[in-house]
A and B are shown apart, each in its own frame.
Chain A
Amino acid sequence: MQIQYKPKRNLLQTILHSEIMQGMAFTLKQLFAKPITRQYPQEKPEIKLGFRGQHALVRDQETGQSKCVACMRCVTVCPSRCIHIRFHEDEDKGSRVVDSYDIEALRCVYCGFCEEVCPVNALILTEIFEYAAYDRESIFFDQERLLANWDAFAAMKGVAINSYINPFWRPRGIPESVLTAAKRLDVPEEWTIEGQVVGNLVKQDQ
């Protein structure tokens, strides 16, 4: 590799401090530039598509309960092991019943794998990010809290919640045939693989 050094200063440039003057000119120019500061509590950041915030369990509009089927995929995929599910089998129907669903949000790394892997789109990382608290208990989410989180998110979204589709519910780069029925969703145009910036690995797979 060829390293390009700056040409050596001549005597006149040294006396006139040409390089210092360049720096001073730059800072003076910056003085009149528009600051990039966001005055946070008054000015909220714009939340982009695919934002991963507070956890919630989607409340099913028909049953009023969680959609979770206790398949344990989220527990398995979670890299920080922050999801804990207890369930028992319903002898009559032969299906699983969730006893408890807990997320230790303080351990979560917000990778979004759980919502991608969920076959029934029961889990979501909402766009809510302001949930700091003074004790650990209030950031430990049990099933009730998770459903309440969804209600809060629904209230924030208003009517738009009926047509809301989280982009992670439809994982990118996976053919529709291998997805469960619930995950064959229309995602926004900008979330599709062509119209957005993706990592090299995704591009290679294309």
Chain B
Amino acid sequence: MHVLILLIEILILFAIIMLHVAYATYFERKIIGHMQVRMGPMRVGWHGLLQPIADGIKSFFKEDIVPEQADVVTFRAAPIICLTAMLTSLAVLPFAKGWVLADINIGLLFIFAMSSLASYGVILAGWASNSKYTFLGGLRSMAQVISYEVAMGLSLVGVMMLSGTLNLTKIVEAQGGSFAGMYVFPQIIAFFVFFISMLAETNRVPFDLPEAETELVSGYCTEYSGMRYAIFFMAEYIGMMVMSSIGTICFLGGWNGPFEVAVFPPFWFVVKVYLFMFVFIWIRATLPRYRYDQLMSIGWKVLIPLALGNIVLTGFIKAFTG
């Protein structure tokens, strides 16, 4: 019985997240369109509201092409690995008090593990396609994710030290309901490091080198078509949402807000996540892509030392103030 309820909960979460992913693409296209003084999608439905559904139907019914020289099994598995890893990390996110599928004590570590696992999908996709663009994209993604994973992990150590736990629900509770209690204030350096690594981790502009259109066609998903391509896309957007959720939980006080919304407890959580998403899109509309060596040197020479310094600083302050 318990398993059945859990399954239903998983299904509901899956459906809601997929809907959010679909409309996140719409949101992104609209925002970027208006920032570029265009209108974005306007044709399908009122102001293009049905565009994501039309896109979904289109990519679902498109031919699924597997290149002749590709490693078929890995090629087919790669997008699924990507999507599964991203979806799995949704299980530990607390959307509101008690609104979490798996309230495990190593939630933060679990999410790190899953987001590194998702990069396996990207690398395998790049390798299995047997084409130079995908291979370069996969290589870049590997190097990028490995270097930024470190910075991101270290930046969240400060949060762990302050809250004394890895359980995401407890991290939110440790911040309390007040505005000043949010960890973004005592951990401003960590937030800075986290934010930049978050952009790099999700392969977003200005760190979208794995799928740099101008150089690598479309990077690791060049050889993919139809639904498999769409799965990579979904994985990227779920990744954005997961990272925004981590940011919200660890720095912005999770579901706590100025006032309680009794009808819909995760209200403030959703607002904050969409605020993050907006910033993602805003940055995409503004900044050009980094050069690859600059990307690496920012990761290793700036962010990691900053994060390490932040750990030492937090430790000192915590030791002296108790």
Contact = CB atoms under 8 A, between A and B. Distances in A.
A20 B37 contact: no
A20 B192 CA distance: 14
Interface string A24-52: 10111011111111010000000000000
A23 interface: yes
B287 A35 contact: no
Contacts of B39: 35, 37, 39
Contacts of A34: 37
Contacts, number: 37
Given A35-B38, A35-B39, A37-B39, A20 B33 contact: no
B18 to A, nearest CB: 27
A23 to B, nearest CB: 5
Contacts of A27: 35, 282, 285-286
A23 B38 contact: no
Contact of B37 (A23, A24, A28, A35): A35
Contacts of A32: 34
A64 B31 CA distance: 56
A39 B37 contact: no
Interface residues of B, number: 14
A33 B37 contact: yes
Given A24-B282, A27-B282, A31-B31, A36 B287 contact: no
A198 B34 CA distance: 35
A39 B286 CA distance: 25
Given A20-B287, A35-B39, A37-B39, A30 B34 contact: yes
B287 A30 contact: no
A37 B285 contact: no
Most central of B33, B34, B282, B283 by chain A CB within 10 Å:
B34
B36 A30 contact: yes
Interface band, chain A: 10 to 19
Contacts of A26: 286
Nearest to A30: B35
Contact of B287 (A23, A31, A33, A37): A23
B113 interface: no
A27 B279 CA distance: 11
A33 B39 CA distance: 11
Contact of A24 (B31, B33, B36, B283): B283
B42 interface: yes
Nearest to B36: A30
B31 to A, nearest CB: 7
A39 B42 contact: yes
B85 to A, nearest CB: 31
Interface in B42-81: 42
Contacts of A23: 286-287
A36 B37 contact: yes
A98 B274 CA distance: 71
Interface of B: 31, 33-39, 42, 282-283, 285-287
15 contacts: A23-B287, A28-B35, A30-B35, A30-B36, A30-B37, A31-B31, A32-B34, A33-B34, A34-B37, A35-B34, A37-B38, A37-B39, A37-B42, A39-B39, A39-B42
Nearest 10 Cβ contacts at the A-B interface:
A37-B39, A27-B286, A27-B35, A35-B39, A23-B286, A27-B285, A31-B35, A31-B34, A30-B35, A24-B286
